[in-house]
Structure 1
Amino acid sequence: MSPLIEITDARVFDPSTILIDVRAGANAHERYLQGHLPNAIFATLDDDLAAHPANPAIGGRHPLPSLEDFAQTLQRWGITPDSHVVIYDDKNAAMGGARLWWMLRSVGHTNVQVINGGLKAATDEGIELSTEEYKPVPATQPYPVASEYKNTVDIEEVKTAAKAEGRVVIDVREGARYLGHTEPLDLIAGHIPGAVNLFYSNTLSPEGKYLTAEALKTLYNDTIGKADPEDVIVHCGSGVTACHTLLGMEHAGITGPKLYVGSWSEWSRRDLPIATEK
């Protein structure tokens, strides 16, 4: 199944589809109530897709929720192993949409897709939005998640991979943050020594949709080089927009790259080497 689905696909609005609207930020719920796809469940990045970190130096600003908590969240949304889940956000899937897609795939749910272009694709098509909160019917039991989040790496593996020949660590933050010119969210500017930069937004068309699979494959292969996909690690500021790149890679047929969840928000707080460039 393709990780992307177009808003014009009838399956998006099939009554059996679990449709989830993921928002981020302090006014997330307010924005949802201002307009969302009919029958879309409200989800929030900070409360549903991340734990609240006691110390961002351990796990970063958006550590993954416990498997038990995530299983209960999926139960609350009515998701079972047989559910077709369709996700979108209002940031071209760069915030919560791709993160939830990655989390579901990581715990073993394969029947999940993200709307290409997110909420903007719907408004561009003239789809009438709802301002009523949709209340899902919970599943009868927690989702049977896997025993771990698969395809993740910890900070120790990143330390090794960033120096290893044949491995690639990709930083998907914008160039100014990677270069150390500015840092709006974390304490120190710069990047992991040895990491290469591919700004996630470079994979989008002017309309906010992903480039074609062929164009994405070329872009990613230019970055990865001869490394095997399984030897590629993707990170960002806190393990969220990195999932946008992992989704794009999947769409391009590049499977196996791993997520460093803690990302720059963890690395930059651990008194580790930091690289900058003028």
Structure 2
Amino acid sequence: MSPLIEITDPKIFDPSVIIVDVRAGANARERYFQGHLPNAIFATLDDDLAAHPDAPAVGGRHPLPSLQDFAETLTRWGLTPDTHVIVYDDKSAAMGGARLWWMLRSIGHTNVQVLDGGLKAATDAGVELSTADYQPTAAAVTYPIPEEYKHTVDLEEVKQAAQDEGRVVIDVREGARYQGLTEPLDLVAGHIPGAVNLFYSNSLSPEGKYLTSQALASLYKDTIGDIKPENVIVHCGSGVTACHTLLGMEHAGITGPKLYVGSWSEWSRRGLPIATQ
């Protein structure tokens, strides 16, 4: 199954498919009520796709929810392990859509796709949006609690990988943050020594949709070179937009890169070496 789906695909309006609209930010619910796909479940990055850390120095600003909490959320949304799920957000999948896709794939739920272009693709196609408060029906059977989130790495592994010529750590934040010229969200500006920069939005067309799989493969190849996918680690500020790049890699046929969930929000709070420029 392709990780992406087009708004013209009739499966988006199949009643057996569960659609999840993931928003981020303080006005997330307000934006949802301004217009969403019919029968789309409202979800938020902060409440549904992340735990609430007491200290971002351990796990970053958006640590993964416990496996039990995530299973309970999926049950509340009506999912079973076989459910076809389509997810989207209003930021070309960069602020929640790809994160939910990655989380589901990480626990072994493979029947999930992301709407390419997100909400904008729907409005551009003339889809009539809904302003209703859609409430899902909980699944009759509790979603099994997964054993783990696969394809993640911790801070110690990132330390080693960033200095290993046989591995690569990719920082997908914008260049000014990577170079230490500005830092709007975390305490210290800069990047992990040894990490390379590939801004996540380079994967998108001007219309906010992913480039073709061939164009993406070429883009990522320029950064990865001959390094095996399983030796690639992707991170961002807090483990969210990194999933956007991981989705792009999957679409390009690059399967196996790992996510550093804590990302810069964890690294920058641990008194570790920091590089700039």
Range into which the TM-score falls when normalised by the shorter chain: over 0.9
Residue 30 of structure 1 aligns with which residue? 30
Q: Output the TM-score relative to the length of structure 2.
A: 0.99
Residue 76 of structure 2 aligns with which residue? 76
Whole-Å separation in 1 of the counterparts to 2:218 and 2:166: 19
1:146-204, Cα deviation, whole Å (9 max, x unpaired): 20000000000000000011100000000000000000000000000000000000000
Q: Which amino acid aligns with 2:23?
A: R
Are positions 1:237 and 2:237 aligned together? yes
Q: CA deviation at 1:142?
A: 2.3
Runs of 4+ in 1 over 6 A off after TM superposition: none
1:215-242, Cα deviation, whole Å (9 max, x unpaired): 0000001100111000000000000000
Q: CA deviation at 1:144?
A: 1.4
Q: CA deviation at 1:140?
A: 1.7
Q: CA deviation at 1:143?
A: 1.3
Are positions 1:98 and 2:82 aligned together? no
Whole-Å separation in 2 of the counterparts to 1:58 and 1:111: 31
Task: Determine if contact 1:59/1:262 at 8 Å carries over to the other structure.
Answer: yes
Residue 11 of structure 1 aligns with which residue? 11
In structure 2, the residue corresponding to 1:103 is in which secondary structure? helix
Task: Determine if contact 2:168/2:196 at 8 Å carries over to the other structure.
Answer: yes
Task: Determine if contact 2:71/2:146 at 8 Å carries over to the other structure.
Answer: no
Q: Which amino acid aligns with 2:102?
A: W
Whole-Å separation in 1 of the counterparts to 2:120 and 2:63: 28
CA 1:40–1:32 in structure 2 vs 1: closer, same or farther (change >3 Å)? same
Task: Determine if contact 1:107/1:145 at 8 Å carries over to the other structure.
Answer: no
Residue 193 of structure 2 aligns with which residue? 193
Runs of 5+ consecutive residues of structure 2 not aligned to the other structure: none
RMSD: 0.5
Residue identity over aligned pairs, in percent, reads: 80
Q: Which amino acid aligns with 1:43?
A: A
Residue 263 of structure 1 aligns with which residue? 263
Residue 48 of structure 1 aligns with which residue? 48
Residue 123 of structure 1 aligns with which residue? 123
Report how many aligned residue pairs link the two structures: 277
Runs of 5+ consecutive residues of structure 1 not aligned to the other structure: none
Q: CA deviation at 1:276?
A: 0.4
Task: Determine if contact 1:161/1:169 at 8 Å carries over to the other structure.
Answer: yes
Residue 276 of structure 2 aligns with which residue? 276
Whole-Å separation in 1 of the counterparts to 2:151 and 2:159: 17
Residue 163 of structure 2 aligns with which residue? 163
Whole-Å separation in 2 of the counterparts to 1:173 and 1:56: 18
1:112-165, Cα deviation, whole Å (9 max, x unpaired): 000000000000001010000111110023211420000000000000000011
